[in-house]
Amino acid sequence: MTISTTLEPEPQQVASADALDAARETGARTRAHTAFGLLERYGLLLFVAAVALFFSLLPATSSLFPSGRNVDALLGNQTVVTIAALAAILPLIPNHFDVSVGSVLGLSCIGTAAAMSTYHTGLVVAIVVGVSIGALVGAINGALVAYAKLNSVVVAINTGISGKLTNFGSLKWLGIPRPAWLLLAVCLVAWYLLDQTPLGRRLYMIGENPHASHLIGVRVRRLTFLSFVLAGALAGVAGVVLCARTGGANPNDGPDYLFPALVAAFLGTTAIRPGRFNVWGTLLAVFFVAVTVNGLSLSGAQPWVQPVFNGVALIIAVALAALLARRRRTASP
Amino acid sequence: MTSGVAIRDVTKTFGATHALRGVDVDLAPGEVHALLGGNGSGKSTLIKILAGVQSPDAGQLGVGGAWRSWTGWDSEHARAAGMRFVHQDPGLFPSLSVAENLAADGALGRRALSPIRWRALRRRSARLLRSFELDVDPRAPLAALRPAQREMVAIARALHDVEESGDAALLVLDEPTALLPRHEVELLLSAIRRVAAQGHMVLYVTHRLDEVFAVTDRVTVLCNGSVAATRPTAELDEDTLVELITRRRVDREPRTTRSRRDGQPALAVRGLCSARLHDVEFDLHAGEVLGLAGMGGSGRTELLRVLCGDRRRRAGTIELHGEPVAFRSPLEAIRRGVVYLPEDRRDSTFPDMSVDDNLAAVALDAYWLRGRLRARRQRRDSRELAERFSIVAASVGQPLRSLSGGNQQKVVLARWLRTQARVLLLDEPSHGVDVGARADIHGLVREATDAGAAAIVVASDLQELARVSDRVLVLRDGSIVDELRPPRLDPTTLDDSLYRTKERVSA
């Protein structure tokens, strides 16, 4: 037996009118939320602009902050930390914490420097070596997490080799520092991978519900593994850039980038695509921290301001993300 | 007013939405009162107001012969007034033991530092668990229990509390049986009768109409936040009740079996064994809906999970359209058109993703064209799907979480049906959804099988199972013990078969 429903004319009209009412009410609510949604999405961007404007007008910094040299430094100095942050969000999307980003970065930097100074390889080979080291460590991490089901892994390597690498950091292209171009290119690639390919979509699905993903045919372990390999390779790229910027390798430099990278990753979830780790949000978060710290130090703040500000930004990011998430939950019936 | 509970003229608005408009519900001591209505009719809001979780805009509350103010009414007041609640999401603590969960309502001792008497607590818990035939160790962590068992722990805790209280207490059960298999439902219903006989009141929210007729004295139907009717249960029949809830006339037609029994079966299972299955054999034909009945733990879900490649089999063969298959993962099964819809919606949905992304989750490769995911095409298709599968959503861009349970279920079903799957493995496809959505879901399954797919449906609601299935297999302890076909296929015979086979096995 089946129940088939015969619609009497009158109740149907009532029913559809109700459905329309309900739809209209929800529609009105969505529209009412749009203003808030826009603010939520671009709030961080406005904030960055406001901070930049503030330091441009503040008497103590108004001459130095907006100067060409300072802007160049601001643009050029964010490449390593942004790429490291993008490396961090790749495993974070499928819900894994990779704390090896900083160490891998340092290791790749050393690898590139060693390839050039000790083994006298060409530039391209040295870069390939640096990136491959990152991908390899990422593969080991990924295998341990995805297949052996371990928690996050810390890789700490201490080797002290220093070397020389042509400093591409000081050159400009179309008036913009080269590292900034690289930064944009890496962001575009990461955005493409995460937003425009089934791979990215599936990583987000795994992050939200790994079991459901498995049951609808997503290769959870393989993709989780892949996210670690890609993260390692990106950390490797960051390491090569670090090597290029500093003209040498110091193994202690790498881990210094871990915390700012994670701050950017988490603060990034409050912007552009709120509630998700996302590329442009991460980029904005990096510049938010950079512009603020730069302005503060130009106005004469002590060096310890930077780590403290990073810590405060992380707390704000986590609190804001939780608050927005709660608001979203209560907003829907 | 009498000594019961009186809810009068309660109104609640959320922004522009009227959740409740002037709702009256009265309960007399010893009464079991059903609260019915479709999803979004206001049942949950009313219960949350009663529990002190939300406060109404207007209205009165009478408890034990005195009028109380809603202002400042909170969960402490509700407790003090003898009200106990089992919500849809039972307030349990997964990492604590079963015994600790049972005691969480206050039996641990009032003072923070007074020592807990573990032995006594464990003994008491064991007794309580036995009375509900729950075969679990009180020391086991709650997380180790099956969802149905967890639900029973929550119910046992509330029932026990009510029975302990001397005055006429009110027990509110919000869809307690959505996850429970038949036998556990029977236990619950007899416990409800017991507390009612002691003079307590029960407000019972359910989507299963057979339970309404089995246990309640009166029925209140809510519709769009207003009371559509309050009537003695004895004056109603099922069709009238469905009409009151859905405001649609029910027209029953006898099901015509259109399955093609001749020729090669879509699925042929022989000698299938797994961790919990023993020598399972059956054929499933294209166009057929095969029902699976059994108690919780009988292997119903296990069978579906083995067939879809999620669980390993130990022995036996599975042939798909005459070809032997050995799926090692759901992905391999999906590629051959064998798809599985889990019992628990938490295993099938991405609640924070949009309806659109949820629908497209299994069709991503189709939108991956010339190096990009075609979002616009995906959205257009999703809109069409939402219309075709009568999914009610303001926009397919809104998060899945914001849809009612019935519509979420239609989304996950539509996700599979769009793939033209050949074998549908559906575990409780319509549990916890309202009567209207349930009819829609049955219709969709029927439509798919009429178009040539084959389906296996697991359902604890035997009436539902008898209605949707062409044939029902009865599972017990991992083996098939009975097969029912028309004219033997009706809820009563099914019920008999389930219990008879139980006796036969235990004898």
Q: Name the strand (E) or helix (H) holding A84.
A: helix A79-92
User: Using the beta-carbon criterion (under 8 Å), do A3 and B371 form an inter-chain contact?
Assistant: no
**Do residues B267 and B307 lie in contact, with contact meaning Cβ atoms separated by under 8 Å?**
yes
- Specify the pLDDT at position B186: 82
Q: Nearest by CB to B331, which of A23, A205, A219?
A: A219
User: Using the beta-carbon criterion (under 8 Å), do B255 and A1 form an inter-chain contact?
Assistant: yes
Please indicate, yes or no, whether residues B234 and B379 belong to a single structural domain of this protein.
no
Domain end residue (candidates: B227, B246, B265): B246
Determine which of A216, A223, A273, A332 to mutate to test the interface with B (most B C-beta atoms within 10 Å): A216
Please indicate, yes or no, whether residues B395 and B488 belong to a single structural domain of this protein.
yes
- As a whole number, the mean pLDDT across chain A is 77
**Do residues B257 and B486 lie in contact, with contact meaning Cβ atoms separated by under 8 Å?**
yes
Smallest CA–CA distance, residue A39 to chain B, in Å, is: 18
Q: How far apart are CA A208 and CA A218, in angstroms?
A: 13
Asked if residue B318 is part of any domain, the answer here is no
Count CB pairs under 8 A between chains A and B.
Answer: 136
pLDDT per residue over A109-122, tens digit each?
A: 888 888 877 777 77
Residues of A in contact with B255 (CB under 8 A): 1-2
pTM: 0.70
Q: Nearest by CB to B248, which of A7, A18, A202?
A: A7
Both tokens of residue B493? 């015979």
Q: In whole angstroms, what separates CA A67 from the centre of its chain?
A: 28
Residue for token pair 């602009």: A49
Please indicate, yes or no, whether residues B239 and B308 belong to a single structural domain of this protein.
no
**Do residues B202 and B173 lie in contact, with contact meaning Cβ atoms separated by under 8 Å?**
yes
* CATH code assigned at B72: 3.40.50.300
pLDDT per residue over A287-327, tens digit each?
A: 988 888 888 888 877 778 777 888 888 787 777 777 776 66
Residues of B in contact with A217 (CB under 8 A): 329-331, 334-335, 362
DSSP track, B170-239: EEEEESTTTT--HHHHHHHHHHHHHHHHTT-EEEEE-S-HHHHHHH-SEEEEEETTEEEEEEEGGG--HH
Q: How far apart are CA B143 and CA B152, in angstroms?
A: 13
Please indicate, yes or no, whether residues B489 and B364 belong to a single structural domain of this protein.
yes
3-class DSSP assignment, residue B60:
strand
**Do residues A285 and A268 lie in contact, with contact meaning Cβ atoms separated by under 8 Å?**
yes
Nearest to B430 by CA among B416, B445, B419: B445
Q: Kindly give the pairing relationship between strand B338-341 and strand B423-427.
A: parallel
Residues of A in contact with B42 (CB under 8 A): none
Q: How far apart are CA A136 and CA B377, in angstroms?
A: 38
User: Using the beta-carbon criterion (under 8 Å), do A329 and B443 form an inter-chain contact?
Assistant: no
User: Using the beta-carbon criterion (under 8 Å), do B373 and A196 form an inter-chain contact?
Assistant: yes
Q: Nearest by CB to A1, which of B247, B340, B467?
A: B467
Distances (CA, A) of B59 to A306, B9, B15, B53, B357: 56, 5, 18, 16, 42
**Does ipTM top 0.85?**
no
Please indicate, yes or no, whether residues B57 and B173 belong to a single structural domain of this protein.
yes
- Residue of higher predicted confidence among A73 and A227: A227
One-letter identity of residue B388: R
**Do residues B58 and B9 lie in contact, with contact meaning Cβ atoms separated by under 8 Å?**
yes
Q: Nearest by CB to B347, which of A3, A211, A329?
A: A211
Domains of chain A and CATH, by start: 46-331 (1.10.3470)
- Specify the pLDDT at position B501: 53
Smallest CA–CA distance, residue B367 to chain A, in Å, is: 9
User: Using the beta-carbon criterion (under 8 Å), do A3 and B467 form an inter-chain contact?
Assistant: yes
A211 → chain B, closest CA residue: B347
Both tokens of residue B258? 């259109």
Q: How far apart are CA A302 and CA A299, in angstroms?
A: 9
Q: Which domain holds residue B458?
A: 286-313+327-506
Q: How far apart are CA B455 and CA B339, in angstroms?
A: 10
Both tokens of residue A233? 């390779």
Residues of B in contact with A214 (CB under 8 A): 310, 329-330
Residues of A in contact with B436 (CB under 8 A): 5
Asked if residue B166 is part of any domain, the answer here is yes
Respond yes or no on whether the N-terminal peptide bond of residue A307 is cis (omega within 30° of 0). Answer: no
Domain end residue (candidates: B246, B262, B278): B246
Q: Is the pLDDT of residue A146 over 80?
A: no
Residue for token pair 């529209």: A31
Q: Nearest by CB to A215, which of B254, B310, B372?
A: B310
User: Using the beta-carbon criterion (under 8 Å), do A333 and B402 form an inter-chain contact?
Assistant: yes
Please indicate, yes or no, whether residues B338 and B418 belong to a single structural domain of this protein.
yes
Residues of A in contact with B310 (CB under 8 A): 214-215
Local confidence pLDDT in tens for the 507 residues of chain B: 457 888 888 888 876 677 888 899 999 988 999 998 876 678 888 888 888 888 888 888 888 778 888 888 888 888 888 888 887 666 667 677 777 777 755 554 455 556 666 777 777 778 778 877 777 888 888 777 777 777 778 878 887 777 776 677 888 988 877 667 767 788 888 888 888 888 889 999 887 788 888 899 999 998 888 888 899 988 888 778 877 887 765 544 445 555 455 678 899 999 999 988 999 999 999 989 999 998 777 889 999 999 999 998 899 999 999 899 999 999 999 999 999 999 888 899 998 899 999 999 998 888 888 888 898 999 999 999 998 888 888 888 888 988 888 889 999 999 998 888 899 999 999 877 777 788 888 888 988 998 889 999 998 888 888 888 999 999 988 899 889 888 788 887 887 787 665 444 443
HSE, side-chain direction, 13 A CA sphere, residue A171:
8
Bridge partners of B34, per DSSP, are B204, B219
Phi and psi at residue B228, to the nearest 5°: -80, -35
DSSP track, B334-386: HHTTEEEE-SSGGGT--TTSBHHHHHHTT-HHHHEETTEE-HHHHHHHHHHHH
A195 → chain B, closest CA residue: B373
Q: How far apart are CA A70 and CA A295, in angstroms?
A: 10
**Do residues B353 and B399 lie in contact, with contact meaning Cβ atoms separated by under 8 Å?**
yes
- Inter-axis angle of helices A279-298 and A68-76, nearest 10: 140
Smallest CA–CA distance, residue B2 to chain A, in Å, is: 35
Q: Is the pLDDT of residue A26 over 50?
A: no
User: Using the beta-carbon criterion (under 8 Å), do B310 and A218 form an inter-chain contact?
Assistant: no
- Specify the pLDDT at position A203: 94
What lies within 8 Å, CB to CB, of A63 at 6+ separation is none
Residues of A in contact with B467 (CB under 8 A): 1-3
- Specify the pLDDT at position B327: 92
Residues of B in contact with A2 (CB under 8 A): 252-253, 255, 442-443, 446, 467-468
Q: Nearest by CB to B15, which of A29, A212, A215?
A: A29
Asked if residue B207 is part of any domain, the answer here is yes
Work out the end-to-end distance of chain B between its first and last CA atoms, rounded to an integer number of angstroms: 53
Q: Name the strand (E) or helix (H) holding B330.
A: helix B330-335
Residues of B in contact with A208 (CB under 8 A): 350-353
- Dihedral sign, CA of B94, B99, B105, B107? negative
User: Using the beta-carbon criterion (under 8 Å), do A198 and B353 form an inter-chain contact?
Assistant: no
| B97 secondary structure, DSSP code | B
Please indicate, yes or no, whether residues B242 and B355 belong to a single structural domain of this protein.
no
Q: Nearest by CB to B347, which of A18, A202, A215?
A: A215
Smallest CA–CA distance, residue A269 to chain B, in Å, is: 14
- Dihedral sign, CA of A271, A273, A275, A281? negative
Q: Nearest by CB to A3, which of B224, B252, B349?
A: B252
User: Using the beta-carbon criterion (under 8 Å), do A23 and B330 form an inter-chain contact?
Assistant: no
Q: Nearest by CB to B348, which of A2, A215, A332?
A: A215
Please indicate, yes or no, whether residues B356 and B500 belong to a single structural domain of this protein.
yes
Please indicate, yes or no, whether residues B224 and B290 belong to a single structural domain of this protein.
no
Smallest CA–CA distance, residue A2 to chain B, in Å, is: 6
- Specify the pLDDT at position B256: 53
- Residue of higher predicted confidence among A229 and A143: A229
Residues of B in contact with A215 (CB under 8 A): 308, 310, 330, 340, 342, 347-348
Helix/strand/coil (H/E/C) assignment for every residue in B449-507? HHCCCEEEEECCCHHHHHHHCCEEEEEECCEEEEEECCCCCCHHHHHHHHHHHHHHHHC
Nearest to B84 by CA among B99, B68, B62, B106: B106
Q: Is the pLDDT of residue A11 over 50?
A: no
- Specify the pLDDT at position A198: 92
Please indicate, yes or no, whether residues B242 and B300 belong to a single structural domain of this protein.
no
Most confident among A11-15, A164-168, A234-238 (mean pLDDT): A234-238
B239 → chain A, closest CA residue: A3
Residues of B in contact with A204 (CB under 8 A): 353
Phi and psi at residue A134, to the nearest 5°: -60, -50
Residues of B in contact with A36 (CB under 8 A): none
Q: How far apart are CA B146 and CA B276, in angstroms?
A: 15
- Specify the pLDDT at position B104: 59
- Specify the pLDDT at position B456: 95
Give the least confident one: A56-70, A247-261, B346-360: A247-261
Smallest CA–CA distance, residue A267 to chain B, in Å, is: 19
Nearest to B207 by CA among B233, B236, B245: B245
3-class DSSP assignment, residue A46:
helix
Q: Nearest by CB to A2, which of B17, B253, B342?
A: B253
Please indicate, yes or no, whether residues B469 and B419 belong to a single structural domain of this protein.
yes
**Chain A residues touching chain B at CB-CB below 8 Å:** 1-8, 11, 14-15, 18-19, 22-23, 25-30, 195-198, 201-202, 204-205, 208-209, 211-212, 214-219, 275, 328-329, 332-333
User: Using the beta-carbon criterion (under 8 Å), do B255 and A196 form an inter-chain contact?
Assistant: no
Distances (CA, A) of A96 to A151, A274, A315: 8, 19, 20
Number of H helices, E strands in chain A: 13, 3
Q: Is the pLDDT of residue A54 over 80?
A: yes
What lies within 8 Å, CB to CB, of B65 at 6+ separation is B1, B2, B3
Q: How far apart are CA B166 and CA B162, in angstroms?
A: 8
- Specify the pLDDT at position A31: 45
Asked if residue B69 is part of any domain, the answer here is yes
Nearest to B79 by CA among B196, B173, B195, B161: B161
Determine which of B20, B226, B248 to mutate to test the interface with A (most A C-beta atoms within 10 Å): B248
Q: How far apart are CA A204 and CA B472, in angstroms?
A: 39
User: Using the beta-carbon criterion (under 8 Å), do A211 and B351 form an inter-chain contact?
Assistant: no
Residue for token pair 């809104």: B398
A16 → chain B, closest CA residue: B392
User: Using the beta-carbon criterion (under 8 Å), do A216 and B253 form an inter-chain contact?
Assistant: no
Smallest CA–CA distance, residue A258 to chain B, in Å, is: 28
State how many domains chain B has. Answer: 2
Residues of A in contact with B361 (CB under 8 A): 205, 216
- Dihedral sign, CA of A66, A69, A74, A75? positive
- Specify the pLDDT at position A17: 36
Determine the Cα angle at A160 with ends A158 and A163, to 5°: 140
Distances (CA, A) of B242 to A12, B239, B443: 15, 5, 16
Please indicate, yes or no, whether residues B198 and B297 belong to a single structural domain of this protein.
no
